[in-house]
Amino acid sequence: MKVKRTQVGIIGAGPAGLTLARLLFESGISTVILEAKDREYVENRIRAGVLEKGSVELLGRAKSDARLQSNAQIHKGIEISLNGDRCRVNLEKLSGGKHVTVYGQTEITIDLIEVHTKLGGEIIFEASNVIPRDFETKTPVIQYESNGDLTELQCDFIAGCDGFHGISRSSIPPSKLKFFERVYPYSWLGILAEAPPPSKELIYASHERGFALYSMRPPTRSRLYLQCENNTTLDHWPDEVIWNELRCRLGVKDAHLIQEGEIIEKGVTPMRSFVTEPMQYGNLFLAGDAAHIVPPTGAKGLNLALSDIFYLSNAFTSFYDTGSTKELKSYSKTALSRIWKTERFSWWMTSMLHKASETDNFEDRIRLAELDYLLSSEAALSSLAENYTGLPY
């Protein structure tokens, strides 16, 4: 068995693990990232692309924002449509000058990998049989196989950034964790199409036939979503039906804004809220989807992962600079305070914008009243804007 040594072993080369590695590298702290998939797969995953100010600043600290600064779109507002009647929410005015930045997670991942490898950072792709162990001790180890070799990576700490289905969280004894979960009674059908989007800003549409989201990735492509049933298969949604439903949910007045194009990606995304407490056990620390999931309605998944990395990178840096474990010990409590506020916002937006069960007319009337109140109250819109553009770290 081969033996390697690093200070922080990182499991997972998504934006959370990559950003952590970049920040620690800039602070002179050694890391090794272990990723189960190959580089091509990792760099082609299509995910979210709406960034809070704090996320953009963190990518700047990671020296991985050159293309973002050149190519990203600044969105100062969003639109909310209720059965075809559209209302623009001026995020910048209502939040005290903040906005969101639209730049695809795929591009963020490409940027982080390119910068990190160019500067000498180590990422081991196609690492198999990854097993974190001994993290209850001061000498944790990650065992893995690569190119047929079995290797033991000795480290001071392990960062589990390997997603909801990864090995990190499941390696912690179940008795040491509590799980909080809400599974929603609907899913999203998502498409990526070679067609211009119907608006320069995102449109969140609540319609009697169900929710729809109209966005872009990049500005020449449309990233479009439709609320659908949980048991939906792609066979239920031929292209013609998708385009017709998108026009319907945008509303009669604006249906002409939908321009058809080649659909280059199609998939169904289940909706879930999930939180793990605590987010650390011994010297194993969880971050991103390994610790929590939000429904995608409020565009918070990537941003929440990066806020974890803000706290975790600062804690590691503080330890190596001063020897203090104070921030490491409080990482979970600190991160969870912001996580639960963001979970609340994502749950609220999801519940308000999606059509409730056909059999629950009371719930549906309540959500419509909530939407009506939101669109008629500057105070309510200010709260939406504050949360949508991002709570402070």
Rounded distance between C-alpha atoms, residue 170 and residue 168, angstroms: 6
Cα 131-134-135 angle, rounded to 5 deg: 90
Kindly name the residue from 300, 311, 331, 354 that is annotated as catalytic.
300
Q: How far is CA 368 from CA 88, 204, 250, 318, 376, in A?
A: 18, 14, 17, 48, 12
Kindly name the residue from 15, 75, 198, 292 that is annotated as catalytic.
75
Cβ atoms 176, 281 nearer than 8 A: yes
Kindly name the residue from 103, 144, 186, 204 that is annotated as catalytic.
204
Residue 197 appears among annotated catalytic residues: no
Residue 376 CB burial class (10 angstroms; 0-12, 13-18, ≥19) = exposed
Residue 184 appears among annotated catalytic residues: no
Residue 245 CB burial class (10 angstroms; 0-12, 13-18, ≥19) = buried
Determine which helix (DSSP H) or strand (DSSP E) holds 322, and give its type and residue range.
helix 301-322
Residue 300 appears among annotated catalytic residues: yes
Residue 144 appears among annotated catalytic residues: no
What is the greatest pairwise CA distance in the chain? 67
Cβ atoms 343, 276 nearer than 8 A: no
Q: How far is CA 180 from CA 172, 177, 185, 278, in A?
A: 16, 10, 17, 11
Kindly name the residue from 144, 214, 331, 388 that is annotated as catalytic.
388
Q: Which amino acid is at 322?
A: T
Residue 214 appears among annotated catalytic residues: no
Kindly name the residue from 207, 225, 296, 311 that is annotated as catalytic.
296
Residues acting as catalytic residues: 75, 204, 296, 300, 388
